[in-house]
A and B are shown apart, each in its own frame.
Chain A
Amino acid sequence: MRNVLAVFRKELRSYFAAPLIYIVAAAFSGLCGYYFYTDLLHFITFGFGINIMENFWQLLFLDIRKFLLFCVPFITMRLFAEEKRLGTIELLFTYPLRDGEIFLGKFLAAVVAVVTLLAPTVLYPFLLNRVQPYPLLPVLTGYVGLLLLAIAFVSCGMFISALTESQVVAGVVTGGILFGLWAISWNEAALDPQSLQAMRAVSMFDHFQGFSIGVIDLRDVAYFAFTVLLFTHLTFRALEARTWRGRR
């Protein structure tokens, strides 16, 4: 536990000592704030102010989901790629740390960094609740969904970062994969019903839909859990590569 904490603290310090996270957070907050405003206008003019979950929060959550897709790769790209490029990976792997401890420390730090991006948006539901009271619990469900989505994004980004020395490659590939998992079910006309069903089952974004209207479906939770486990497994295999490269 102490080892995990050591890596976690170092990673967090590295995040907040560099300017990148502040730039990403500023862009993320700006976009969220703007869409909070426009979605609210939409809710008032076209939703006539009724059913706030479907006519407002759903729209906003789906927008935030998009911004997460673009912002998370910037957070995760450095995790292993930077250490490999700098050569500090050699220190990390020769300290008495297990791969699992290194992984967990980095993973938690990246999740905390993404939560820091999301944190300011928590103001919105309370702000609205002051103007016009409404049930907050379904909104909380939306946040649970965002958190699960963020964790899935981070685990994907971490795996890609473990594969390359280049942060740019890690960022671009992660963004590409996440975007692909969204776009996969877009073109309903091009797919027959069976394949569309299959694509929807794979699409990370379709599994978020329920959360955005306040529904927690166990299948969606299972999907995210499986995604995180899959990428975690792949990351461990990628880290292990150093032990079997050069074997005969």
Chain B
Amino acid sequence: MIEVRELTKFFGAVCAVDRASLSVARGEVVGLLGPNGSGKTTLMRVLTGFFPPTSGTARIDGLDVQTHSLAVRRKVGYVPEHVVLYPELPVRRFLRFAADAKGVPRARSRAAIDAVMAACGLVEMARRPIRKLSRGYRQRVAIAQALLNDPEVLILDEPTVGLDPRQTVEVRSLIRTLAGRCTVLLSTHILPEVSMLCGRVIIIDRGRIVAEDTAARLARRVEDVARTALRVAGPREQVIAALAGVSGVDRVEAVEEGTAPGAMTELVVVSREGDGVRQAIAALVVGRGWGLVELRPIEPTLEELFVRLLGSERQGAADA
């Protein structure tokens, strides 16, 4: 559905996107993940036909964004990063403009506007000028306008940035409901968001695509050890010594001296293999008569993954 080949975009001497290639299949939800200034917005603006690339090609549904710009723009719904919209227009009025501009047929336009307003929870805000809406509602209006022409591709640039936690949850669930209907490419620098919403992650840094996989597989790629968090009610030194003796355990890291009454011992156990070692640990702790308060596998977070991927990438670049 989205095909990007060797796409490069310069602004003067600054290279914003550097030979990026990616492809997104129909119906996929793909996250574009990268720090601020990594080229996410530039890439999206090329895809939406806002400006052309310096070199390389981008196609949406087989149509080149440069040579078939109007046709591409008809297929794409776009939510830009900083949604300000037209402050003086009431919500419904703005959506009517968007419907007309996107060529939604007159006969269908009223129903289409009603449908997106209902989907985005805007019905009671219909007559309110956009400047009087909260940040969360403005975001919904921005998403509503993007949905108006039943887009085959939905491009969302940082859809949850600047929202409060409740609004973030609402916008995310809204995106999730759209996932079945269209192909979604969304950018974010909020890492858990990607694993929540996206089937696949494309990691971009300084204009270059550095990794591309499912969130889970990317995590496995950098994490080859299992880590287990442990809280035990028992004498600290003895617990550590006993755990180090369990077969399969590579290392036992003490988290910090517990100051709470009852002298809880908090540890992280690093082992090559996970579940078997955890069973052995549990049996050992219980067998010694200590209290097993908590035993929890530590999943590698996307933050760690991100730092490691970019770290090795930068290391590689420095070596070359």
Contacts and interface: CB of A to CB of B under 8 A. Distances in A.
Interface of A: 2-3, 5-7, 9-10, 13-14, 17-18, 86-88, 90-98, 242-243, 245-248
Q: Which of A6, A94, A98 gathers the greatest number of chain B CB atoms within 10 Å?
A: A94
B101 A6 contact: yes
The 9 lowest CB-CB distance pairs between A and B, nearest first, are: A6-B100, A17-B88, A96-B73, A94-B48, A95-B101, A10-B97, A96-B74, A86-B84, A90-B80
Contacts of B251: none
A94 B98 contact: no
B93 interface: yes
Interface stretch (B49-57, B172-180, B203-211, B309-317): B49-57
Contacts of A91: 78, 80, 85, 98, 145
14 contacts: A3-B103, A7-B101, A13-B88, A88-B85, A90-B80, A91-B85, A94-B76, A94-B78, A94-B80, A95-B73, A95-B98, A242-B50, A247-B52, A248-B10
Contacts of A10: 86, 89, 97
B169 interface: no
B163 to A, nearest CB: 17
A86 B87 contact: yes
Contacts of A243: 51-52
Q: Which of B93, B97, B145 has the most CB of A within 10 A?
A: B97
Contacts of B49: 93-94
A88 B78 CA distance: 12
B92 to A, nearest CB: 12
A93 B45 CA distance: 10
Contacts of A3: 100-101, 103
Nearest to B103: A96
Contact of A5 (B9, B84, B100): B100
A144 B55 CA distance: 50
Given A14-B88, A91-B80, A247-B54, A96 B101 contact: yes
B66 to A, nearest CB: 9
A93 to B, nearest CB: 5
Interface of B: 9-12, 45, 48-52, 54-55, 70-71, 73-74, 76, 78, 80, 82-89, 93, 97-98, 100-103, 129, 145
B11 A13 contact: no
B70 A98 contact: yes
A5 B106 CA distance: 13
Nearest to A97: B101
Contacts of A5: 100
Given A7-B101, A14-B89, A17-B89, A87 B80 contact: yes
Contacts of B88: 13-14, 17-18
A33 B10 CA distance: 55
Contacts of B98: 91, 95
Contacts of A97: 101
Nearest to A17: B88
Nearest to A85: B84
Contacts of B52: 243, 247
A86 B85 CA distance: 7
A75 to B, nearest CB: 15
Given A90-B80, A91-B80, A94-B50, A246 B11 contact: yes
Contacts of B103: 2-3, 96
Contact of B89 (A2, A13, A242): A13
A14 B89 CA distance: 7
Nearest to B42: A246
A93 B84 CA distance: 15
Nearest to A82: B86
Contact of B73 (A7, A94, A247): A94
Given A14-B86, A88-B84, A88-B85, A93 B50 contact: yes
A184 B248 CA distance: 92
Of A7, A9, A10, which is in contact with the most chain B CB atoms at under 10 Å from its CB? A10
Contacts of B93: 13
A94 B74 CA distance: 9
A242 B51 contact: yes
Contacts of B55: 248
Contact of A90 (B50, B70, B71, B100): B50
A226 to B, nearest CB: 31
Nearest to A9: B97
Nearest to A98: B70
Given A86-B84, A95-B102, A246-B11, 16 more contacts: A6-B100, A17-B129, A86-B87, A87-B80, A87-B82, A88-B84, A88-B85, A90-B80, A94-B48, A94-B49, A94-B50, A96-B101, A242-B51, A243-B52, A245-B11, A246-B10
A9 B76 CA distance: 23
A94 B78 CA distance: 8
